[in-house]
Amino acid sequence: MSAPSLDPEAQANSLRRAQVRRSLTRRNRAEARFRALGMVSALAALGFVAILFGNILSRGIPAFWQYSAVLNVTFDPAVVRVPERPVQGADQSDADYQTALLGWQRRFSMVNWNTLISRAVLDAAPAGVTADQRAVLSVIDSGARFVLRDLVLQDPSLIGQTVPVRLLASADADNWAKGKLDRSLPDERQQLSRPARDLIDAMTTQGSLQRSFAWHLFTNVDSRASPASAGLAGAFVGSLYMMLVVILASVPIGVSSAIYLEEFAPRNRFTDVIEVNINNLAAVPSIVFGLLGAAVFINLFRLPLSAPLVGGLVLTLMTLPTIIIATRSALRAVPPSLRQAALGIGASRTQMVFHHVLPVTYPGILTASILGVAQALGETAPLLLIGMNAFVANIPATPLEQSAALPVQIYLWQGNENRNFFEARTFAAIIVLLALMISLNALAIWLRGRLERKA
């Protein structure tokens, strides 16, 4: 063996070995390259997500805390001058009484609450700080008037008393206190007058203006008259109604048509056409569904504008193909042996499908439905075309009432002219929407895991 490598066979062997070794290094290098590339792209994707989330969180989270002041408001009887609550007379009809009652309430709205607010603010401010009423009022959110009114309407015995009330700082004051406005800008470039700015600084140092968690972001509806109190409740409920409509309409229709197409329909030209159409529908841009919705649901069926019902129906059209396609592929993944076994022991086709095939596909159908609904939740474009981009200051009581939706609320706040305040609010709304989406996706994963374990 130690003979010189003159043996032709040994020579050929060593040549082959060298060749194999060369190709092996080449293949190893190719693999290393591919791995590195894959790693880089995964890291890049992760980096983008991190940048996105970092950006959204850093900009949005400050909006969850807002400045407010607990003020001792004196309900001075000289200012709050309202008659006694009307009592229904014996000869007074219900309608007349209602009118009288509403008139009485309107008297409360007319009270000059601003006087009480500016007095209370000056009381709370450190001694020696003075400002005219306009400057003082610009510190407190303009919705404070109605907070005081509602307090007295609920309990008229408050008149004459002094009670602590938490009132929100105005949007401009909040910006100033949070340091979002450039302090070096001259007076004519500032939103707030100099006395107002000094008052805010004095009150924050003294501690009477404090930052607290903005629960009203979740409990209030959108507001333009008092921007500091604008919240997401209306949009949230609107989105909720739309989701309900989408679930109630698209899941039964989508799943049953998928079952029919996959298990019962004969294979012919007609079902082929349907199949191609469904696949095409899945690729139609969502704005087209919005146009269709406006033409069909609003102009033809005369359903109301800006209603979550219409929004839900439009989003249903969009979600249907997703659910049908996913359900069909789930059905197709069921081994034929299961079907044959069921048929073999005498089950009818319907029994075979509903008792044996369908239960196996629940995890798939469920995941597809939840993902479809989550996608619909974030959809904005079609909603703009059915009038859901309107400013609505109500929480809708039924899906037929006008309402906003979460993604549209983001769009609206993004367009608000008070940029300094609403930019953060916009990102806060995005955080809420993302949180909702992530929980829906988590629910999908959890349900799939649970059902898969059962099956």
Partner 1 sequence: MTANPILNLSVLVAGALAAGALIVGPVAAQERSTIQIAGSSTVLPFASIAAEEFGQFFPEFDTPVVGSGGSGGGMRQFCQGIGANTIDIANSSRPIKTSEIEACRANGVSDIREIRIGYDGIVLASRLDGPAFALEPRDIYTAIAANLPEGMAPPMLWSDVNPSLPAQRINMAIPGANHGTREVFEERVLEAGCEAVMGGALENGGCLQLRQDNVIEITGDYTETLARLNADPDTVGVFGLSFYDQNRDTLRVATINGVTPSLDTVASGEYLVSRPLFFYVKGAHLGVVPGLAEYTEFFLSDMMVGAGGRLEMAGLIPAPAAETAQVLENFLNGVSVAQ
Residues that bind partner 1 (CB under 8 A): 98, 102, 105-106, 109, 142, 146, 181-182, 185, 188-191, 223-226, 248-249, 251-253, 255-256, 298-299, 301-306, 309, 354-356, 358-359, 362, 387, 389-394, 400-402, 414-420
The CB-of-414 to partner 1 minimum distance in angstroms stands at 6
Q: Which two tokens stand for residue 58?
A: 């850093």
The CB-of-75 to partner 1 minimum distance in angstroms stands at 19
Within 13 Å, how many C-alpha atoms sit on residue 206's CB side? 19
Using alpha carbons, select from 302, 199, 308 the residue that is nearest to residue 244.
308
The CB-of-344 to partner 1 minimum distance in angstroms stands at 17
Nearer Cβ to partner 1, position 70 or 101? 101
The CB-of-146 to partner 1 minimum distance in angstroms stands at 5
Residue 392 buriedness (CB in 10 A; 0-12 / 13-18 / 19+): buried
Nearer Cβ to partner 1, position 339 or 356? 356
The CB-of-285 to partner 1 minimum distance in angstroms stands at 18
Nearer Cβ to partner 1, position 208 or 394? 394
Residue 97 buriedness (CB in 10 A; 0-12 / 13-18 / 19+): middle
Q: Which two tokens stand for residue 415?
A: 């367009």
The CB-of-25 to partner 1 minimum distance in angstroms stands at 50
DSSP 65-97: EEEEEEEEEE--TTTS--PPPP---TT--HHHH
Q: List the strands of the sheet with 209-213, edge to edge.
A: 162-168, 65-74, 209-213
Nearer Cβ to partner 1, position 269 or 454? 454
Nearest-angstrom CA–CA distance, 359 and 377: 27
Nearest-angstrom CA–CA distance, 334 and 161: 74
DSSP designation for 356:
I
Nearest-angstrom CA–CA distance, 363 and 9: 61
The CB-of-193 to partner 1 minimum distance in angstroms stands at 13
Nearest-angstrom CA–CA distance, 321 and 328: 10
Nearer Cβ to partner 1, position 105 or 375? 105
The CB-of-28 to partner 1 minimum distance in angstroms stands at 47
Nearest-angstrom CA–CA distance, 63 and 57: 10
Instruction: Please tell me the total number of residues recorded for the chain in this structure.
Output: 455
Nearer Cβ to partner 1, position 40 or 225? 225
Nearer Cβ to partner 1, position 105 or 210? 105
Neighbour count for residue 290 (Cβ, 10 Å): 24
Nearer Cβ to partner 1, position 74 or 220? 220
Nearer Cβ to partner 1, position 90 or 300? 300
The CB-of-369 to partner 1 minimum distance in angstroms stands at 11
How much is the CA Rg of the chain, to the nearest whole Å?
A: 33
The CB-of-329 to partner 1 minimum distance in angstroms stands at 19
By the 8 A CB rule, do 417 and 332 touch?
Answer: no
Nearer Cβ to partner 1, position 213 or 301? 301
Nearer Cβ to partner 1, position 70 or 97? 97
Using alpha carbons, select from 51, 115, 40, 123 the residue that is nearest to residue 79.
115
The CB-of-128 to partner 1 minimum distance in angstroms stands at 28
The CB-of-192 to partner 1 minimum distance in angstroms stands at 11
Nearest-angstrom CA–CA distance, 286 and 246: 15
Neighbour count for residue 397 (Cβ, 10 Å): 10
By the 8 A CB rule, do 113 and 144 touch?
Answer: yes
User: Residue 68 pairs with which residues in a beta bridge?
Assistant: 168, 210
DSSP designation for 184:
T
Nearer Cβ to partner 1, position 92 or 418? 418
Q: Which two tokens stand for residue 36?
A: 């590195």
